[in-house]
Structure 1
Amino acid sequence: MGLKLIHLPETVYDRGKTATNRAEAKAVIKEVFDHYHKYGNTKSLGVGTFNVRQQQAILEELELQLKLNPSMEKYFKGNQGEHFFVKNLETIQGDERDVIMVSVGYGFDAEGRLSHNFGPVNQDGGERRLNVLLTRAREKCLIFSNFRGKDLHLNSTAPFGLRALKEFLEYADDKILSHQEQFPNTADDAFEGAVYEFLTEHGYEIHRRVGCAGFRVDLAVVDPEYPGRYLLGISCDGPMYQTSRVARDRDRLRQQILKGLGWNLHRLWATDWYRNRVEVQKRLLATIEELLQEERADEVIPPVEVETVLTEEVSSDLAEEIDSQLEEGVPETDSLSPTNEITDLNPVESEKSVTTSDQQDEEKPTSSSADFPELEEVLELQKETSTPENEDTSEGGLSEYMVCEDTGVPVSGEFHNQPVGDIARAAMKVVEVEGPIHYDELVKRIRTFWGLSRAGRRVKSVMKEAITLGVMDGQIIQKGEFLYYKDAPVVVRRRTGNPPAKMDLISPEEIAGAVRIILESQYATQKDELIKEVSRLFGAKVTRGPAINRIKGVIEDMIQKGEIEERPDGMVDFIREEMIQN
């Protein structure tokens, strides 16, 4: 549990327009769903935002994802004790949940600029609003942001709320406070010094100010039998206590968290120490002796290495180790645990992508390059540079068109009675496998899964709504009559039956790719011959009027864009550098 910054550098804050970060909102809802998949209703959850507009963006994304995943609706009903909520920092006061996710929303815009305008946080009392927002979690707090604390470059005149936000984000990111020694030596500090000297004189090893931020333990007694752990934490009413602004922070919350981490705590008051020192000292020693008499786990823990200054290299390694522990389920707040130790840390290795070999095992030879022996080298190059690892390819290197066989969505009941979210997920799967795909071909594929021979009015209406959801979700991109899967490369594919090699069902980008393949292998080619060879490359045996016009239109569009040229002799070719130089 604990505190974690989820850095989303690929997201963009829409400054000056919607004042939201839609991609960040999407990431938040994805994490919300992951939370309920993992914990169900056993851990309550809430989301907080820095402004009303980001709150609305998250609610809209939630509505969309619930349509796509209707089975999740049971977790968002308001009839539960501590139900799910999405609130902004002006309305979240008084609400607590086991887990809180905070969406900053503000951040780098499309031009890479980071404005210092963070709404209410910049105003007078902004630090109090920020404190309320960031202390709603009992066990875990996740911060979503497209920038890090170190990206905020502030001067001494910056609002206190903004400076507090910067330091908080830095701590959430690397668990290291920017200033290791936050409090100067004062008269109040002498009280802690006196207790420290008293205990060391009695033979105990004492560490001062263990942990971080507002949950630092003033004095920690090292267990003499197990030097790698602390026997007792001592809280004084010195600087650490006085800097807590409200009684709740001083006592209930701080003590609750520290005890939850396994600390045995003992409170010392300065007035008691100076007025009745002997009695206070006796009680302190008696408490330590009682703890020493208790049975403890018989294990050897390496000694704690105390370092007053952490280098940037160690800080970086520590952050990576914390991320590694989170993935393995280790509590994130180990830095405050009484069994804390500093060891040599190794960076976490990046996850390696797992390639699927099932489809590659099913590869079948084709005669695509047999018609054009000179294409083999070019097609092989395309295979290496453009084809995804899990793309099924022929021996000649040209990809065979793969039809989606399984959408992962159960097929049952009447099509028009299905949750539109299920239809949308099926459509997104088809586009992922077959994209770019013609709109009508997608409708045909989906209705075929439900055993329908034709698409009537109701089927078309459901499909339109489902595809719209997919586009809103960002997984599908629609360009005219064709649907593309997000970030997927366009690969030239050979059609040998289903679907047929009909040019009007093939996207302009895929036809353009075929034109490039022909020209890369044959150099300059007569336009009519180029059209025929492009058609044959897709698997068509005959090239007629509509197909000719379709390919011709793509070639002319490529000429207009300056990708290729048509010479005076009617030959079509790339605009090659050697010709420009001549």
Structure 2
Amino acid sequence: MSSSRSGPRFFSSLELDSWRDEAHQAGKRLLNKRKALEKVADKLRPQLAPAASVLAENLQWTLDRLVAARGHASALYQQLGAIGGLRLPAGWLPTAPDAERQLHQACEATEISRVLLREHPAMWALFEAGFGPADLELLERLRSGWQAWRGALHCGPAEFAFWAGESGWHEAWQRDGSSWLAALKTDGLLPVQRWGAALAHADVLAEAGLTEFRTQLLRGVIDPDEAEEAYRRGVATTALAERLRAGEVEYFDAQLHDTHIDQFETVAARLRAALPEHLPSVLVRRRPFNPHERRGRVADFTAELRRKRGGRSFRELFQSYPDIVLALTPCVLVSPASAGHFLAPDAARFDLVVFDEASQIRVAEAIGAMGRGTSVVVVGDSKQMPPTTVMQASHGEEEDAPDSGPVPEDLDSILSEAVESGLPQRWLSWHYRSRDESLIAFSNRYYYDNKLSSLPSPGADPDAGVRWRRVDGQFDRGESRTNAVEAREVVAEIVRRLREPATRADSIGVVTFNVQQRDLILDLLEDSTDPLVRERMSEDETEPIFVKNLENVQGDERDVILFSLAFSTNPETGKLPLNFGPLSQTGGERRLNVAITRARRQVVLFSSFDPGDIDLARTTAIGTRHLRAYCELAASGVDRLGDLSSTRRQRRDRIREEVAAAIRTRGHEVITGHGLSDFTVDIAVRVPGAPRWQVAVILDGPQWSARPTVADRDSAPAYLRGIMGWPELVRFWLPAWVRDRAAILDRVDAAVERAVGAQARAAAEARTAAEAQLAAAARAALEAAAAEEQPEPSTPVADPFSGEQVRAIVSERRGPTPTQSPAEVAVEPMSFQPYEPTLVGDTTDLDVVRSSARVQAAVRAVLREVIATEGPVEQHRLARLTLKCFDLHKTNADRRASVLALVDPGTLRVHPIGTFAWPSTLDPEAWRGFRRARNSSDRDFDEIAPEEIVNAVCHALASARRAEQDLLRATLERLGYRRLTEKIESRLRYGLEFGQERGRIARDPDGRYRLGPTT
């Protein structure tokens, strides 16, 4: 029985105790027990709640519980009365049905009173004074109005707590209420509604777990205009941290990773080096016989090999002892035709038959070798020359082309048959031969659909890449079918390269279109008395000079290929016959591909016609059309190479762009995606103005990740230094960049500094080598002169190697003295050696140059040194180089004038295009030399004296007359420049006029130039 079954005041009744005692006495009776209990129960039932009941058998237990509950209720009442501030309703009893609810209300009221008393004493006093009905109505209006206001603002507990702060609602309302009311009167509800909508949208952020972002946005920490960017930045930062953790590169050690790569490359190199020695030893151990046996088949085989007479043929030996032969030499190298001749069909079965250069193997030749193997691998390039047979030329559309005699007819190869049969293919895409990427770029685009991966080169090497040499030759369409002028130019180029220190070590090959031109060049080389030529033609050379025609050059390679086109326009019609022999036939483009891919370092194209002379309207032959495109590429220089990579789609790499921009802030010149194939240098770096790129930066970006093997990803970049000649290589790892960008940029700075230093040392070594060569030539000239003019015995013989005489000969090599006959001086180009400034003072010296005799003496010494090194030298260049020796790199007119005032006027020679200072050892009227710039940055073209230009023109005219444009380009090439700009052409034309005035150059009525009478 609970308070819900009995009246609340029943518990205070004194009868409850007597009823309990009567019930216990009745329970002890032996007779009429139930009747006695029912009598007590009848007294209790009037106190029960409606629908409640009590059973006689439970009466004692019920009354005991009631008495106990009364005691507990009394104790609870006393405890609640002892709580200060707790005000229970009048007449409250713990046993009342709603006692618990009333108690909670009292406790809540007490807590509110406590807060009000502490935080709002004035409001508490108001409550203490009591409320009337009007006060309660006002409070209810305030409560409902505030709730409506919060609802309009979408203000949740977090926003309310932020707004109220520590001061509480009352003070916060006093602070903001009046301004809110004023804003409502001025602007209406729209700002409130907007703020509410903003909060509603912001709630989405909280629901997505972005509580901190929502708080910063609402509090104004994040500018609303930058909210999207801030969100994306936060997501990116979080995603980056998660990816670093997931990839276990959160604590990535770039230096350790680079060490692992170096170790991998070292071990791989050792493995490759060990295999040639390891594999033979393995084969020897696997031999199933003892080679020293004295009886049996092995002994018989050994005896057969030792026979000097009557021995068996190789075919018979192989057929009788196939197991022994294959155990001794399991790899047999043989041509397809020899396989059928030397190996009987039933002699042995090979596990593997490999055809190399399969594009040149006919199907009939290959069948026999294929039948002797269990499996076959066919290796070849379908874009190179197929098997051929000789046929008579058919010119078809070339009605103006003369008969060129027999030409090869293409046949089917085992490679084309395998491709057409749908055999499984494996594409080998890496190209390692070319030391300059432009050598393979043309073929990669026109023949290999840009699928070849080639290594980018740092560029600006005058002795690398594809070069055009225009020759004023004429092809003899009569009996000789040669171009003599072009042949002599090729031989002269070979001689020049063998004498030039920078190119002397390069191996050389010559390719011609026809056999007759090949034979002519070969005869000229074999008849040469030049010891360098004869030495390099010797078969004892590792790579002697070869001269081959288009049909038999496949498989050969050299550092430099000189390609003689030989053909020229018809002097009567002015048209170029478009019959280029096999090149004009179907598939002729494959022969062109072979010819232009034989070089490792450079291709020089000798041509007696211009690219535009190949009239595409008159031919449909692919080979002829490709020849014109290749000639245009060679003639236009490296600027045209951009077109070759236009089909390669570049993906935007934001990280690469970010790194490149950061490197630029360090003052370096930068280009991204440097290269002409799918393998590119991510970022190429150099100091501003440097002629070639100095540092290759390789990133671990999408291109790196897409490479399928460890060797492709981590070994190939190392070839940039070993094969392509990049001075420095920096590997970039994204985790290291994320952690410490400054360290990566410092590495790039250090690499650039090392590259600059290495190039300076190389330039100094080159100058030393050139001076040594010059001195050796001087000694040789003195020795020869002494041998020819022996003095009388009584005449004392001067030491031919005295310092004064050597210096005199050196001066003669630079240019003859006035007493020499110009015709006796050999005009051979020399490399231009730029002066390297060395600090001799600082800018404070220059401040007193007009008054200090000491500084003037120092400046004059530098001026003499510069003139002696570079003379003739243009006066402004002279001033700049001199000022650099005093640590002044940015000059102005006043500074230059202060230095030039100290130049000896007798050394200056004035022209309309500039003033030039000449060394005392050179006579401008008699000097016949000129210098070839190794890089166009060595000196600007407008810093070349007109006398030097005239000398280069005369050198170009030494072999034949030339048309004006041809002469201009030939002169430009001899001086080491590629692009014929309008400014350069103007100076060259002045040189032509100056040379004609001096009688060095003459112009014939047909407009062609030749050497003049005073050359």
Q: Which has the larger radius of gyration?
A: 2
TM-score after normalising by structure 2? 0.26
Higher helix proportion, which one? 2
Higher relative contact order (CA 8 A, sep 6+): 1
TM-score after normalising by structure 1? 0.42
